[in-house]
Structure 1
Amino acid sequence: MSDIYRPTTVALLTLSALSARWRSENGTPPPRRLIIADDSLRADAAHRLACEGTSLLWKGDYPGALRLLNAMRRRAERRRPRSAPDSPADAFRRHRQERARLARILGMLLVPLDADHRVPLHRAPDVREACLAAYGPLLENSIVSLRELLGVIGAQQWRLRGVEVPALGARIHPHYGVFPPTRGEYVDLVARAPLPPAALRPTAAGHPLALDLGTGTGVLAAVLAKRGLRRVLVTDANPRALACAQDNAHRLGLADRIEAAGTALYPPGDDRAALVVCNPPWLPGRAASALDQGVYDPDSRMLHGFLDGLARRLLPGGEGWLVLSDLAELLGLRSRADLLGAISGAGLRVTGRLDTVPRHPRATALAPADAPTEATADLLQAARTAEVTSLWRLAPS
């Protein structure tokens, strides 16, 4: 399963009269070199210092920090590789390297955060609610990258506004660090796939059990509950996701049907289920942040963990539903033969498959490229255009 990202508050930073804790949600180490910056610092100099590894603690007004961040981004995006990528896999590798480089440079612009979640800068917005939701209570002053703080603010807007899910006829509210269900086509697959007979047939122990592994916001568990399954256990490696799924279950009036069962892939014990649903991250690769856990699955560990444990956790007549895009295949990161070999190697057979395509031209499992070259963008866009998302119906062989 993907790594769990927790708030990092390490290394007491001291600079003249300033004393604060370093805060990073994605585990970025504390600054090695730190200088005070304000409106007297030119963008060219700020970009050069950031590239050299010097962090800039902003003490000017808040809008000035936003302007400097945008100016640094423009300068960082000017760099282009000398040669075009020669394959989709190479284009994807360069895409990730460029995103990591930009994140490192832009992450060097820092802002202070008081213990009461206020940004002590002139004309700073009130971020207390957003920071409390993301960080929990703070015990002392801290320093955070402006880029991360903007992510915290944006995540709070997602949480308040929610994401409309037509299959539910309701909104799902993602928490900070939990991937939002903005790609509705995979949810629709779960909403229309025929339920196995065992899923609605009472057992000696009562209502049959369903599992949603790697639940995220809990959207698929909610769909299953709406379809009549009376007991759905959800798991996720990210504790934030479990809290998010429970929050959404309460919002939807489904708290009596959906229950959090821990951070292991499969719930503890040996209870068998009539239906096991898993929508693992679609791309093999290392997650660089909490949100990336919804996209990248290191060494396909979650995919293989689901498959390898499925046969022994199914009731007779039960099914496992694997919801997976073929984008990794189109990018040359995994082959269809690899997937089918993993299914058969786990003692499973395919009993059916439902396919769908993205409904929106910008819908993609990849985050938008920060500044891809034309050739890189073309290769990635070709893969996105051809993408198919499938629900694989699996049963013991």
Structure 2
Amino acid sequence: MTEQATIHWTENGEERSANWQSEAGTPPPKRVVIADDTTTADTAYRLACEGTAMLWRGDFQNARQLLQALARRADKPKKAAKASKVPKAKPTPTEAFHLHRQAQSQRARTLSMLLLPFDADHLVPLRRSPDVREACLEAYGEVDAPYVASMRELLGLIGAHEWRKKGVEIPALAERIHPYYGVFSPVRGEYIDLVAKAQLPAGALNLAFDIGTGTGVLAALLAQRGVKRVIATDTDPRALACASDNIHRLKAAAQVEVVEADLFPEGRAPLVVCNPPWVPARPNSPIERAVYDPDCQMLKGFIAGLADHLEPKGEGWLLLSDLAEHLGLRTRDQLLGWIDAAGLKVLGRLEVKPNHPKAADMTDPLHAARAAEVTSLWRLGIK
């Protein structure tokens, strides 16, 4: 158990404090001032950029509007620096990625400086505040004292709660998957479509493993394709709860067993499926762990352990985007080298171009890499 972080501020001449909540794991800000409906957007933006947090005491909806105003200022294009006689070199794809991540991190820090008070029952004691108890309970769990949290984080919790309620439509399943807060939502469906159309190897109708199941979407799809027994693994408690919930919603509990395991369960299977995080970079928050995999740890772990958990003529299906290759974060030769060193061979590969909006957004700093991206289902077998 980690000690509860505490935030401190001065209000009406009195020293005050409260528990600090942050799903991103950020420490409480050191400088806190009181803000209300009289605080202007320019003043708030200046304070936020200086690292001074503002604890809101005004109307909730006015705070929401203020946050939107801060976002507009943060997103406003910066004035171009005076032209130098020496032309500045265009950043490489890798440099562009790191600059983009740096800008995202700075933006998040700035917008997280607007804080809200919460009662111990997760109610926000401000005028015109919505009832956010259910959304906060799903993310924070039960609390025993009032606390302070970022308004930006609260809006993320509310959005996740709405996704959890209505679910994400999965055409390949003809059903909806309900993601929990902090569990990767299957909004990019191309990798699901690859699993839906790939030919099942011999024996796969009897048993398959789904490694890092997340919402359980691939385990559910394999069950729908007729696999009699699917063992779905994960280490994250939220993912385990989310996958179990979705499997029960889809009435697939008789076929799918959700278990806590670091990558592989015990034994071997004729089919082992894994959709690891696609980009080898350090996540800035726990919620980004489904996207960013430092030093390709999960990818390399899956490849290295596959032969020991695959039946002799079985197949390992690795679902992977090549975005990291276009960004210069990983090479194809590295991937093929890990596969070879693990005693595996490539049996074949299915490919699909992504159709998400960013792939066509020419204003995106990473557009060139996204436009060239391909998502693949690598069919791996034992040498």
Counterpart among 254, 269, 272 of residue 268 in structure 2: 272
Alignment of 1:334-373 (within 5 A): 334-362=330-358
2:123 to 112, 118, 123: 118
Distance 1:142 1:292 in 2: 24
Equivalent residues in 2 for 1:1-397 (5 A)?
Answer: 9-11=4-6, 13=8, 15=10, 16=14, 18-78=16-76, 80=78, 82=81, 85-200=90-205, 208-267=206-265, 270-362=266-358, 377=363, 380-397=366-383
Q: CA deviation at 1:198?
A: 2.2
Give the residue type in structure 1 aligned to 2:260.
G
**Cα distance in 2 between the residues matched to 1:280 and 1:343:** 15
Shift of 1:251: 0.3
TM-score (norm 2): 0.92
CA shift in 2, pair 1:238/1:255, >3 Å: same
TM-score when scaled to structure 1? Answer: 0.89
Distance in 2 (alpha carbons) for counterparts of 1:378 and 1:249: 36
Counterparts of 2:226 and 2:124, CA distance in 1? 47
Instruction: Work out the CA distance in 1 between the residues paired with 2:23 and 2:60.
Output: 21
What's the CA shift for 1:77? 2.5
Cα distance in 2 between the residues matched to 1:79 and 1:9: 38
Contact 1:60–1:122 (CA under 8 A) maintained in structure 2: yes
CA distance 1:118–1:301, shift in 2 (3 Å): same
Aligned residue pairs: how many? 373
Paired position in structure 2 for 1:371: none
- Whole-angstrom distance in 2 between the partners of 1:130 and 1:8: 23
Distance 1:228 1:133 in 2: 33
Tell me which amino acid in the other structure corresponds to 1:383: A
* Counterpart secondary structure, 1:296: coil
Distance 2:297 2:144 in 1: 36
Q: 1:19 to 1:186 in 2, by over 3 A?
A: same
CA, structure 1 residues 166+61, in 2 after alignment: closer, same or farther (shift >3 Å)? same
CA deviation after TM superposition for structure 1 residue 85, in Å: 4.1
Distance of 2:68 and 2:286 partners within structure 1? 23
Distance 1:7 1:277, change over 3 A: farther
Question: 5+ unaligned residues in a row in structure 1: which ranges?
Answer: 1-5, 201-207, 369-373
Higher mean alpha-carbon deviation, 316-325 vs 284-293, is at 284-293
Residue matched to 1:203 = none
Q: Which whole-Å CA distance do the structure 2 matches of 1:113 and 1:84 have between them?
A: 48
Q: What is the letter of the counterpart of residue 345 of structure 2?
A: R
Name the amino acid aligned to 1:209. Answer: L
Specify whether residues 129 and 7 from structure 1 end up closer, same or farther in structure 2 by C-alpha distance, changes over 3 A only: farther
SS of residue in 2 equivalent to 1:350: strand
Aligned equivalents of 2:261, 2:240: Cα separation in 1: 8
Give the secondary structure class of the aligned counterpart of 2:358: coil
- Partner of 1:393, secondary structure, is strand
Q: Which has the higher contact order (CA 8 A, sep 6+)?
A: 1
Provide, for residues 328-386 of structure 1, a one-character-per-residue CA deviation record: whole Å limited to 9, x for no partner.
1111111111111111111110001101111344369xxx9xxxxx8xx4651122122
Q: Deviations over 1:206-246 (max 9, x none)?
A: xx432111111110011111111122122223211111100
CA displacement at 1:263 relative to structure 2: 4.5
Q: Structure 2: how far apart are the matches of 1:7 and 1:263?
A: 23
Identity of aligned residues (%): 58
Query: 2: CA distance between counterparts of 1:8 and 1:177?
Result: 22
